[in-house]
Structure 1
Amino acid sequence: MDNAATETPVKHRWRMVANVRRALLMLFVFGQTAVASYYLLWVLPYHGGTLLEIGMLVLFAILYMWIAVGFWTAVFGFVIRLTGGDRHSILKRHTEPELMETPLAKTAVLLPIYHEPVHWTLSGLKAVYRDIERSGQIEHFEFYILSDSRDPDVWLEEQVAWNNLAKELGAEGRIFYRRRPVNLNYKSGNVADFLRRWGKRSKYMVVLDADSLMTGSTIVRMVRLMEREPGVGILQTNPNIINGQSLFARIQQFANRFYSTLFANGLAAIQMGDAAFWGHNAILRIEPFMKHCGLRKLPGIGIFGGPIMSHDFVEAAYMGRAGYEVWLEPGLGGSYEESPPTLSDELARDSRWAKGNLQHLWIMLREPNLRFAHRMAFLNGIMAYVASPLWLGFLILTTIAAADMTLSPIEYFPDGHQGLFPLWPEWRPEWALGLALSTLALLFLPKFLAILDAMIHRFTGEFGGLFRLFCSVMLEIMISVLLAPLRMWAHSRYVVSALLNVSLEWAGQNRTEETTWKDAFITQLPGMLLGGGWSAFAWSLDTMFFLWSLPVALPLILAAPTAVYLSRNSLGQALRKRRLLLIPEESVAMPLLEDAVLFRSREIVNSTLTPLEQAVLRLDHNRLHQALAWDHRLGSRKAELESCVARCLQDGPDTLSRSEMSQIARDRQSLKALHEGAWRASPDSFWGRCIGQLSAQSKDT
């Protein structure tokens, strides 16, 4: 299989190391879970002697194992960093002089977009372009804006913004724009369409998201690493979250930037050449990707039928099955993305991701010849959402058990227990306390390991100093405790909806808006009622059970104010002024990030006319859109388009549906006829008034 099949035995040595590390991880996780489950068995009154207690034990073991995997991954990362880094990583295989001497191959930088804020998104791409230009290697790169936008006012604005960007950068023939007329298979279909048309133009492709930023030096370095490692099919960076403004975004930004130092290094050390692909901020070898990573529709029913929604893990698994390596390399740096600004936006995104990740269950169980590590990556992604309904199920069983013990007489022969001797219920509060503390240690000890790591490697100053770093960690822990039950309740609903195959809309993300009190109460009211009802029921049962329920019930009750205050930019900026939740990128000047902020903050002339109205009236816009349009007046389509044009000229575009507006905006003759007809309109007509607005705007500018 070209270069992948001819790797030297030295490069395969990582597989033996990876197997040893994974075996140790499994030993620690399973061993610790067995001990914790034994403790729970003896904490339960009947020691697993009832079906209810068996159910609690099973759910506890699964959840504890899930938490333990994260804990030991962080410990691995801590040890790896303590010993000077992973000497088996691909970045350590090559010296810096070797990489600098490596010639570059032609690389496509892809920006798939769907109803994103146009100026904001293309300003980010502009910053990436400028940074590659500063590296002196821009001639090796081409840029492709791949639009799936459906609203004509959005994609017409995209076309104008792309044209202006190419002219401003002097990049005509280097920055391209393509909009798919038919939106199939989400982002993976968008990229696949690009590969069918232009895949053979480049050897590699770097895939970005709308909020992605990558330094030119990192992108160039990735290309050189791929040239040095012909057996690598995908090289994934570890994106750090930046530009957080709201309190919620700054919490997520701090947690990602500070804790990922351990978690990313631990994950990379365990996965090695069987890493996952996260869909963006990565470089891919185009030829094997085109040959082996095409996604077929799932053949099942319901959620397990139709197009694959979350494509990235699947593509990594297919690349691994074809014999190519997939690496996560945290040492690359210079890779960034942004957090949703509010809890509501994060949960809206999770509602889509939950369905996509659950689809992976079919692939994990049914797809042949996948590597074990990639099957485990699927399981990890599935558990990210299934853990919530499992936790909810454990709480429900615990409540039933508490109610049964309080309201019913003690059963000495429960669930068909037979024999001469009764089964005496026993309570061991000291064991229960120890088990609770061990679970909390798994959750929170990695956060304090990260502080210790920062002290050892002397970078606490990058996060505001040791005292402020400690305060930031404690604040993040407090907010995480508040958010965990909210996410649990939301993810539980999403999993149920996904399994019932409830259809979801794939829309662009909010980047700036704060949550209103009305929206917060509408979205969070079911959880608030659940938390209040559960807490009241717990109070009626037993005081101790009520106190035990508060860490979950109280955050649910406070869900609306939590969502509102976390969305506030003023609170986030107030903490930043006090150097809390600080990240290094906010203290050290970086040309890429400074450019992104500068370009996005530049004022653009906000016209009173919509992009469609400007496409009709402005000659420069009209000619641009004509050049990008096609002739669609064939057969019956001609009469249909002429009718749409006539109605638009008579009464304006509001008389047309979005589909009809898209049809005429995609047709060259219709655009020409609209321009000529609108400028002949009487002054008191719709188009006459628009011309007046355009003239007034021209005078003001």
Structure 2
Amino acid sequence: MDGVIALAQRLTPAQRQEPEWSPERLRARPDLAGMPPEVAGDMPPQRLDRFDKKTRRSLVDPHARSGFLRRVAVLGSAALLSGFAIFEMQRVLSIGDMTPVESVVLVLFSLTFVWIAIACASAFAGFAAIMARRIWPVARPATPLVRRTAVLMPTYNEAPDRVFAALEAMVRAVDELGAGDAFDWFVIADTTDPAIALEEETALMLARARLGGRMRLYYRRRRQNIGRKAGNVADFCRRWGKAYDHLLVLDADSLMDGETIVELARRMEADPDAGLIQTIPMLVNGTTLMARLQQFAGRVYGPVVGSGLAWWVQKEGNFWGHNAIIRTEAFMGAAGLPVLPGQAPFGGHILSHDFVEAALIRRAGWTVIIADDLSGSFEESPPSLIDMAVRDRRWCQGNLQHTRVLFGRGLNWVSRSHLLTGIMSYLTSPLWLLLILSGLTLALQAHFIRPEYFVDEFQLFPSWPRIDPERALALFILTLAVLFVPKVLGLIAFAADGRQRRAAGGFIGLFFSFITEIIVSALVAPIMMLMHTGAITEILLRRDAGWNPQRRDDGGVPLRDLVHRHRWHVVSGVALAAAALADSWIMLAWLAPAVTGLVFAVPLSALTGSPAVGRFIRRLGLLRTPEEKNTPPIRLAMSEARPAYTEAIASAPSLLDVVRDPASLAVHLAVTDRMLERPRGKIDPVEAMAAAKIADARTIDEAVSFLDKRESAILLGTPPLMEVLAGLPQKTAATPAE
């Protein structure tokens, strides 16, 4: 609030007392304006049903093409491994004629094994790439930046103290490297909570005051959240994008150190064919067991997986929506998202926009690169199973929308593979569930149902369901090995770096963390399997996910809510245990990991989402990552800055405070986004209702009391209505009842 008052005091007394404020005049003042002058440009929606190859740009550097041998090595190895495993499964089941249930088991096994075989082969490539990079490090020339980059921080009802503390830390880090003039910084808000919107404005003024005007920091809040995050970024591009060569896109929980930000801009300037360069963010700041579990897995196994993917996809990489730099020309010219025909969840605005944008950029002839060698890129993870389910529900809907994009004209086959990977990341859950149920059905059939030995009246030899137990055991061991290869290779690569290993607790600490991660993940996996299956079922029933802000810290959930969310998981676990026990104790033992996780879903969810349990695990030294012992300087800078913002937003003005005080109103109007022209006859019902309530009120206090949250949010973004509201009488005495 002090920052707001200090800036407001720069206005002359005549300006502060003027009854009607001019947003255009105030917006022109560099110390108050929310955004710089607009430099408009076109970003046309792309067609998926047609593409003219003649419009595809030619590569400037002919060596920018991807090689074929890497893809043959990874995908060929996966194909050979899958072929062998499928052949062995067919031999396991085909002692005698295959029954219909056995055929279903074979098909489901084939689909799920191919998935893990590709991950296994890719992990070997990633392991080799990491080890080679340590032996032969690549030099990074420190060339000066000559082009301009806009750093975008989209936010939607997030904690402003976290957002602006992170921005301040990044601004200072880049400035200390002498590259400050090459970057402008933008908070592009889609916030719909009026209280948080005013907190954002307070944090903005404080950030500008603390940075002393050395860096250009701007803020814009949209009145209408059309297209969600993708629409937010597209709106920025159409109005300001032409002023910048590159866009560095973040998330509200993103943090990147200065060296990584500057290096991304250098690489974009050095590579005229690069349309997008994506970093691999590390998870940090995990406070619960679930967050720490994801953090550890991402830090230890993630580099092998990410480097393997980067090694074989080469110039046809992917975009994960944040912590990436994009060439503005490529993005605006090629990545305008179409609105899919039909209603949500399969139609409408594309939720998982990032995969599609990467595919469209590559289609237009630009390269998409995964910079797996860059560290210093961070994000946070959901704190609990429930929060993961909420996030995955939205991601699942967005990824299943890609079935409408997968066969778009002109897309590169590797881009299609990324889209298919996103789809399969959720479809594998019902496939695994069906595989378990089919296998259990096969066992129960053999145990309880008298086989029809002679299915043909002229058959000389009987047929019955049989399997080869020795070959089945060998295949099970092979499947487990393929499943765990990425984890083991990641662990070896991580432990081979002495500095990382010591920071994570040494060999012993790392080993016990590895065992803890495997056990807890095995217990949680069946719960996530059913959650994903439920999400897919809801989508098939045409239920939209909506758009809710994500929790970042506390994963605690009331017991009643836990029971409600996991009740069917527990019932499923009990039913699965009963069916397995009906066959044999051995079958129950085989299914013990899945049964245990489901039956104890409620306490598991409570424990993994508890900050207290997370602190206890940390005191034990389990699931430790190097960044916890050696905190990155950028995180220290953010932590040091955050208390100032927390204190400032605690005294942020309310809507009533803003309209009562001319100075606060002036500052608010200065940072308010201009109202875009609307077609005649299209009236926003929320805005109309707010106007009607203000017209019906006698005082400012009464008008504000009439407004609900949605109306207040629209009001804050409507300068004419704010001026009308401010022109009402102040409340001086109690209004007599009529």
Same fold (TM over 0.5): yes
Q: Distance in 1 between matches of 2:442 and 2:653?
A: 61
1:481-520 per-position Cα deviation (integer Å, ceiling 9, x unaligned): 0111011000011112122321122111112222232221
SS in 2 for 1:593: helix
Q: Could you tell me how far 1:672 is from its partner in structure 2?
A: 4.2
Q: Distance in 2 between matches of 1:121 and 1:343?
A: 24
Amino acid at match of 1:31: L
2:411 maps to which residue?
A: 370
1:429 maps to which residue?
A: 469
For structure 1, which segment, 144-153 or 167-176, has the greater mean C-alpha deviation from structure 2 after superposition? 167-176
Q: Distance in 1 between matches of 2:612 and 2:84?
A: 46
SS in 1 for 2:301: helix
Q: Could you tell me how far 1:6 is from its partner in structure 2?
A: 4.4
Amino acid at match of 1:407: F
Q: Distance in 2 between matches of 1:267 and 1:434?
A: 29
Q: Distance in 1 between matches of 2:688 and 2:713?
A: 15
Q: Is the 8 A contact 2:700 2:731 kept in 1?
A: no
**Does the alignment pair 1:576 with 2:576?**
no
**Does the alignment pair 1:451 with 2:491?**
yes
Q: Distance in 2 between matches of 1:36 and 1:71?
A: 13
2:691 maps to which residue?
A: 641
Q: Distance in 1 between matches of 2:573 and 2:432?
A: 14
**Does the alignment pair 1:150 with 2:192?**
yes
Q: Is the 8 A contact 1:205 1:286 kept in 2?
A: yes
For structure 1, which segment, 472-481 or 259-268, has the greater mean C-alpha deviation from structure 2 after superposition? 259-268
1:186 to 221, 228, 231: 228
1:461 maps to which residue?
A: 502
2:84 maps to which residue?
A: 35
TM-score, reference length from structure 2: 0.85
SS in 1 for 2:379: strand
**1:133-282 → structure 2 map (5 Å cutoff):** 133-171=175-213, 174-282=216-324
Distance 1:653 1:557, change over 3 A: farther
2:111 maps to which residue?
A: 62
Amino acid at match of 1:435: L
**Does the alignment pair 1:293 with 2:335?**
yes
1:120 maps to which residue?
A: 162
Q: Is the 8 A contact 1:351 1:491 kept in 2?
A: yes
For structure 1, which segment, 640-649 or 495-504, has the greater mean C-alpha deviation from structure 2 after superposition? 640-649
Distance 1:3 1:66, change over 3 A: closer
Q: Is the 8 A contact 2:281 2:323 kept in 1?
A: yes
Q: Is the 8 A contact 1:37 1:60 kept in 2?
A: yes
- Percent identity reads 33
For structure 1, which segment, 425-434 or 218-227, has the greater mean C-alpha deviation from structure 2 after superposition? 425-434
Q: Is the 8 A contact 1:36 1:435 kept in 2?
A: yes
Q: Is the 8 A contact 1:352 1:504 kept in 2?
A: yes
**1:233-632 → structure 2 map (5 Å cutoff):** 233-299=275-341, 303-365=345-407, 367-413=408-454, 419-458=459-498, 459-513=500-554, 514-602=556-644, 603-604=646-647, 611-629=654-672
Q: Is the 8 A contact 1:302 1:500 kept in 2?
A: no
Q: Could you tell me how far 1:244 is from its partner in structure 2?
A: 0.9
Distance 1:103 1:661, change over 3 A: closer
2:732 maps to which residue?
A: 681
Q: Is the 8 A contact 1:207 1:283 kept in 2?
A: yes
Q: Distance in 2 between matches of 1:467 and 1:400?
A: 42
For structure 1, which segment, 617-626 or 561-570, has the greater mean C-alpha deviation from structure 2 after superposition? 617-626
Q: Could you tell me how far 1:545 is from its partner in structure 2?
A: 2.2
Structure 2 unaligned residues grouped into runs of 5+: 1-53
Q: Distance in 2 between matches of 1:211 and 1:417?
A: 69
1:20 maps to which residue?
A: 69
Distance 1:626 1:226, change over 3 A: closer
1:322-347 per-position Cα deviation (integer Å, ceiling 9, x unaligned): 11111101111110000111111111
For structure 1, which segment, 51-60 or 429-438, has the greater mean C-alpha deviation from structure 2 after superposition? 429-438
Amino acid at match of 1:368: R
Amino acid at match of 1:447: K
1:690 maps to which residue?
A: none
**Does the alignment pair 1:82 with 2:131?**
yes
Distance 1:172 1:82, change over 3 A: closer
Distance 1:230 1:438, change over 3 A: same
For structure 1, which segment, 658-667 or 368-377, has the greater mean C-alpha deviation from structure 2 after superposition? 658-667
Q: Distance in 2 between matches of 1:430 and 1:276?
A: 42
1:668 maps to which residue?
A: 719
Q: Distance in 1 between matches of 2:574 and 2:222?
A: 48
Structure 1 unaligned residues grouped into runs of 5+: 687-701
Q: Distance in 2 between matches of 1:649 and 1:455?
A: 65
Q: Is the 8 A contact 2:198 2:652 kept in 1?
A: no
2:27 maps to which residue?
A: none
Amino acid at match of 1:53: E
Q: Is the 8 A contact 2:255 2:377 kept in 1?
A: yes
Amino acid at match of 2:58: A
Q: Distance in 2 between matches of 1:592 and 1:555?
A: 38
For structure 1, which segment, 561-570 or 230-239, has the greater mean C-alpha deviation from structure 2 after superposition? 561-570
For structure 1, which segment, 110-119 or 202-211, has the greater mean C-alpha deviation from structure 2 after superposition? 110-119
Q: Distance in 1 between matches of 2:612 and 2:690?
A: 52
Greater share of helix = 1
Amino acid at match of 2:432: W
Amino acid at match of 2:657: Q
2:708 maps to which residue?
A: 657
SS in 2 for 1:305: coil
1:11 maps to which residue?
A: 64
Q: Distance in 1 between matches of 2:316 and 2:655?
A: 48
Q: Could you tell me how far 1:425 is from its partner in structure 2?
A: 3.8
Distance 1:510 1:418, change over 3 A: farther
Distance 1:467 1:601, change over 3 A: farther
SS in 2 for 1:83: helix
Q: Distance in 2 between matches of 1:408 and 1:638?
A: 69
Of structures 1 and 2, the one with the larger relative CO (CA 8 A, separation 6+) is: 2
Q: Could you tell me how far 1:179 is from its partner in structure 2?
A: 1.4
